[in-house]
Structure 1
């Protein structure tokens, strides 16, 4: 699946955002908010799944208390409408309260949208075809229309004077109005089921609507100097999520998320010159998850994993992901312009060997197949103090997959 955004429009947006630096709000209020900056980045782009997209991708950063002892909070959002009559609303935040005693992590979304899906595992092809591991179902590109309502919020409390936090969260996903179809030019075999429907039927889920509602137990180590664009140190997150039926889940399940990031500074005098590494694992521990809640590329909190592939290109019951990025300035003394070179890789397990479709599907295990990606990007820092950065990346995956990505702040 080729993802394409217009370069010319994207770079116009980058330099427009640079010009908005003077419009950022920067003020001081005792015991309230310090140094609030807001970037109303417009969004104009195009890709095959959404058509033309228009709207706003705003970003805000500020300090909830004295910057001397409180880390910067940040919020990013999307308010988009597409020529395919899709609506995309989202708000994601990391808030550090006074003296970093509490962290609030939120991910709120409402989508009326569509997205291609390709089946489970790391070996799925680009073009739709009969799945050799599940002969009564498709794999390869299949289109999906759906609505998504998401509300994730977690509160974590600092443990003494350490960089460690413990906390609880609540998580709700409701997928509804799900419809599957093939592109008009694809050959359709009416005897085959769509990957989404085949999986959900085999696991006892509805095919048009399902919910996942649960609580999470979270452990975080936060040593980064600045969460939105770190120059040094590291971050770790362990989340164990329990999704019981009595809280509204379609079926009971539990999952484990492991996330680790480390930043190696290469020049103490130019801290923007560094190598960042990111490792992530997302695992189904017990029970069953609905198809769209299975671990998938590009569905992390900020949607940054898997550059080189479309969101949802790979999906499975378990996922392991890794990325390394070299970040460096392009100017001898100033930090306005920078660049990056990156590589990533992901592996997914497929369906467990059980089915009500009259055939026993094969189980693709983790690391049987690895999907790499690589690319390069441009960085434009529009606020040096808060390291607010416009990022533009082009990435390549396997078998003709590629993508252009325009975002606020660093990928990780």
Structure 2
């Protein structure tokens, strides 16, 4: 199963608005400065969606004096596919004037399809002709669904530090969920999605996850969209009570840490970046599509080499390392990268009616690695706005080409 293949981009425009003759005294709080917008037309294809056409816009700006305010950024997708699917999304990190507060948002509306493979790290690519002894399918199972997502968090800066604390609200509504069999599949067997949900008291065709988040962020990065040095950490605890609309109560924990080791003070673009992430089910049960999954992080950048949703489970641990380097002696336009990543999943809390292999697999019993190379084209040196093209390889024939705005992490 190949990941989304971005074949080409047609045009790149950059629209910028600058305050004229700005001085430190002339900047007004919470007013936009140095706004830059890049609508990147995109053509993409994958087996789940067919051909995809649309735009992947990106914007950067400052909400106050650029000397004392971190750059805000937004990345979006507006895509239509040949399978009559729509994909709309907007993700943002907004720093208010003088970094007094941080807003983190993830909004999505999907009319789409995606295969699922069962839970854990050992799921095969192809649909198995021999489901487990409980009659649950093992391998690729096609799904259609509609997703409405609204995540928004507000964090307040702690004094003059780089630490932020705050709370947020999150909502996921999955509806119109349908599973499809190939002609050779046995209709008496059950989809992994349906069996999991029904055994835990969820509907198989729609479910809701709604709750609050407790967030702590440390951000020492020089430029968030393309860091050259220092680090970033995010702690998020989600509480999903039924009185806020969740079908069943649960709680989860997200740990996200990134560090950037500069290799050359004269050419800071020569660096090694590392990314470690853990996503854990702490209590209760989550609906199937809300379980931790590869490629479902905020910006969809984890697991290059594997399709979004290729691996899923109750708990996830992910790691990645990337060497980034310039390709020119004195200019910053072109750069390259070499990267490796790995992910491991636990199947979930075993139930008597579930197959033991499908749902009791533990973290680190199986690790799925990926590796690849990439090209970087910096189209705005001041803001480090970069077009990133990567090709990655995984196990068992998994591979993919990725075209994005800005670095993967």
Match of 1:293 in 2: 290
Structure 1 distance, partners of 2:357, 2:322, is 41
Match of 1:27 in 2: 18
Match of 2:164 in 1: 165
Match of 2:328 in 1: 331
| Cα contact 2:3–2:308 (8 A) shared by 1 | no
Structure 2 distance, partners of 1:230, 1:75, is 16
Q: 1:391 to 1:28 in 2, by over 3 A?
A: same
Quote how far apart the aligned CAs of 1:144 are. Answer: 0.3
Secondary structure of the residue aligned to 1:129 is coil
Q: 1:96 to 1:57 in 2, by over 3 A?
A: same
How many residues in Structure 1 have an aligned counterpart in Structure 2?
A: 401
Quote how far apart the aligned CAs of 1:33 are. Answer: 1.1
CA RMSD of aligned residues (A): 1.6
Match of 1:50 in 2: 49
TM-score by length of 2: 0.95
| Deviation string, structure 1 residues 114-152 (Cα, Å, up to 9, x no partner) | 001000000000111167656310010000000000000
| Cα contact 1:139–1:195 (8 A) shared by 2 | yes
Quote how far apart the aligned CAs of 1:276 are. Answer: 0.1
Match of 1:142 in 2: 141
Determine which of 336, 344, 347 is the counterpart of 1:347. Answer: 344
Match of 2:5 in 1: 5
| Deviation string, structure 1 residues 64-105 (Cα, Å, up to 9, x no partner) | 000000000000101110000000000000000011010000
| Cα contact 2:234–2:256 (8 A) shared by 1 | yes
| Deviation string, structure 1 residues 156-187 (Cα, Å, up to 9, x no partner) | 01111111110001000000000011345xx2
Query: Where does structure 2 lack aligned partners over 5 or more consecutive residues?
Result: 21-26
Quote how far apart the aligned CAs of 1:5 are. Answer: 2.2
Quote how far apart the aligned CAs of 1:324 are. Answer: 0.2
Secondary structure of the residue aligned to 2:98 is helix
| Cα contact 2:257–2:277 (8 A) shared by 1 | yes
Structure 2 distance, partners of 1:217, 1:35, is 32
| Cα contact 2:53–2:79 (8 A) shared by 1 | yes
Match of 1:181 in 2: 180
188-197 or 289-298, which moves further after superposition?
188-197
Residues 40-79 of structure 1 mapped to structure 2, 5 A cutoff: 40-79=39-78
Match of 1:85 in 2: 84
Quote how far apart the aligned CAs of 1:191 are. Answer: 1.7
| Cα contact 2:119–2:359 (8 A) shared by 1 | no
Quote how far apart the aligned CAs of 1:202 are. Answer: 1.1
Structure 2 distance, partners of 1:74, 1:246, is 34
TM-score by length of 1: 0.95
| Cα contact 1:131–1:137 (8 A) shared by 2 | no
